[in-house]
Amino acid sequence: MLLLLVASVARADEPARLADLRAAPLESGWEAQVRLEGAFQDEIVEKIESGLAVTFRYIFEVVRPRGLVGSTLSRRQIEVTVEHDSLTRQYRLTRTLDGESPQTTATDKEEEMRRWMTELQRVRLPALQDGTPFPAGAVLRARCRLSSGFVLVFFPYAQETPWLRVPLYPPEPSNGN
């Protein structure tokens, strides 16, 4: 019993992280998906329950590694927001891609709200502007900013996940020579 309590306390303190980042080729570009784990820690849950808007900002980038400094070939930013209305007991959900017109929906189910906030699928990463595919060695990377604010009014902070990376093209098989 004590072991379970210690394990659950340790897990509650684990930082949020991205998992299952995947990329699949399309006719013109790529499609990505990712899942955020450990996002609903006490501070986030309290904000949602109090009716404050909570936004997670996901960033997807296709980069070409080049020495110590890579170059960004494609970038997408997705913001997902939840606001809880305690009177109607509804979660108002909004998803915005690159600042364009938001997609909105509502639910009274906490599980649906959590899935909306933490699971992104079919994120389209367009090909280069001239229509050429991404070069060999290109890497998809993603991160999420869960919250931001100020400590003692003056010092900004942001809770972010580390970058998660996956190669767009599988490594060439070695021929054993």
Does residue 28 sit within a domain? no
Question: Mind listing the pLDDT tens digit for each residue in 69-86?
Answer: 668 888 999 999 999 999
Q: What whole-number distance in Å separates Cα of residue 147 and Cα of residue 64?
A: 28
Does residue 1 sit within a domain? no
Strands of 17-26's sheet in order across: 17-26, 29-37, 119-125
Does residue 80 sit within a domain? yes
The residue type of 52 is L
Considering its fold, how many domains does the chain have in total? 1
Does residue 171 sit within a domain? no
Question: Mind listing the pLDDT tens digit for each residue in 32-81?
Answer: 999 999 999 888 899 999 999 999 999 999 998 776 566 888 899 999 99
In sequence order, the β-bridge partners of residue 145 are: 57, 160
Does residue 120 sit within a domain? yes
Q: Which domain holds residue 124?
A: 35-165
The pLDDT value recorded for residue 2 is: 33
Does residue 92 sit within a domain? yes
Does residue 176 sit within a domain? no
Does residue 161 sit within a domain? yes
Is the distance from CB of 141 to CB of 54 less than 8 angstroms?
no
Whether pLDDT at 107 is above 50:
yes
Q: What whole-number distance in Å separates Cα of residue 177 and Cα of residue 15?
A: 44
